[in-house]
Structure 1
Amino acid sequence: MERPGIMQVKFCGLQTMADVEAANRVHPDMAGFVFAHGSSRRIDARTAALLRSRLDPSIRAVGVFCDQDPAAIEELVKNGIIDMIQLHGQESEEMVRQLRRLAPVIRAFRICSVLDLEAARKTRADMVLLDAGAGEGKTFDWSLTAGFDRPYILAGGLTPENVRIAAALQPWGLDVSSGIETRGRKDPGKMQAFMEAAGCRRIPASNREMVRQDGMGSARFLLLAASTATGNRRDRKGDSRE
């Protein structure tokens, strides 16, 4: 559930039970499990299922993929392992449309120029993520986002030290991975520092609102995510959303 008036936060690349327990303590809105081949943070479906079983149920689980078999993605959703789908490859808009029948889709775009933002504006994904490049730990020229007229998640090179600057851009959400790590491992202290710097101290689930009134795009995204998560907990077998 969303905290009204506060940006959403996603901790990406959780790999161990210790990572999940640390995340549960500071409570980001989303937790990312990386399934993309070639990533140093990649985990398999069995590990993800174990981690999900320990993740606070109000934290939405996001599966991160790059040009992977839609059937494998579908299985993860239907088995209740992930609530949302994040795409980092060259997936077609038709594939995006098909996957949106299963769960909300976040589509990532590497931003090098305003032309990249135009592509992000046109996608049919439920939410866009603007990044310097998956897993690179670098920022892009944030000034390029000025005038971008669709809710977005900002990613790439975020840290507890620069998150206040990022927040001034007023993105819908923030996605952090390497910025909450020390020597390649998730650091509970940095997780806490990131949430505090972003103004996101933990709020009990009973006090969270489902929808912030900041536009239909983000509202719909949250409602769909909540619906998927609830359905997963009830062993939902699928829906007909286009």
Structure 2
Amino acid sequence: MPLRTRQRECPDADLQGMKVIYFLSNLWSWIQENATVFSGLTSVGMLVIWGVYLQLLLHNFRMQRRPQIIINHGYGRGIDSRCIVSNMSQSAVFVDSIIVKLETSDGQYVTDVTDTVDKQGEGGNEVDAKELRQVTRQGPLGSGEYMNAGTFRTLLQKVASEHGISVDESCRPTGEAGFSNVEIRLIMIFGAETSPIGASRRFNMKYDDDKKLSLVPETIGTQQLGKRRQRLKVRRWQRDLRMPLNSAGGNER
């Protein structure tokens, strides 16, 4: 009985083997007949792979060349919170000017707050290089570094003093004018570029029932001004520094 069973299975096995050989033979013939199509598909596939690879390289290159500056408040949200400037770019930036624009019910006022000394201290005794950060906010900012630009109280008081606005201890105007928002502007040089770039962020000023001031960012992120059209706006900021506004801004944007 086992011998007969084995003899019965051998023809079936041979038949299955012949079917496999016949299928592979037809498959090979079909591949040879359509070799041109397969060659074209292979070329298209390689082209797609190289296209994706080059796109990734281009994206990485653009990320390295794109400035990313963050302006935020730290250590609270009140008037004594710090204005923090962080450089999240791949390259260093040189902070040329820090400008504060204060909007009130009577108009808008722009002041350069780059230097932290008053007019009597400017041009005085020579300052040691280690102490430069104590008298000016100008200077290089490496990748991943941040800078404390001072408290918002200090910045607002300088704007108010520059334009003859009287404020109380909580930085509320003593006159009829009311503060609405404050905008921090930066003029910088990015990497080896010669044309200045900019960054800005606006904070709305809210007073609670206890007359305490809180600063609420108007946008989630910082506006980056690095494109060609945006750099024209930065140049207007530079012109405004040479011709400061004394009252309502007119063409100020």
| TM-score for both structures, normalised by structure 1 | 0.23
Higher RCO (CA 8 Å, separation ≥ 6 residues): 1
| TM-score for both structures, normalised by structure 2 | 0.22
Q: Which has the higher Rg, Structure 1 or Structure 2?
A: 2
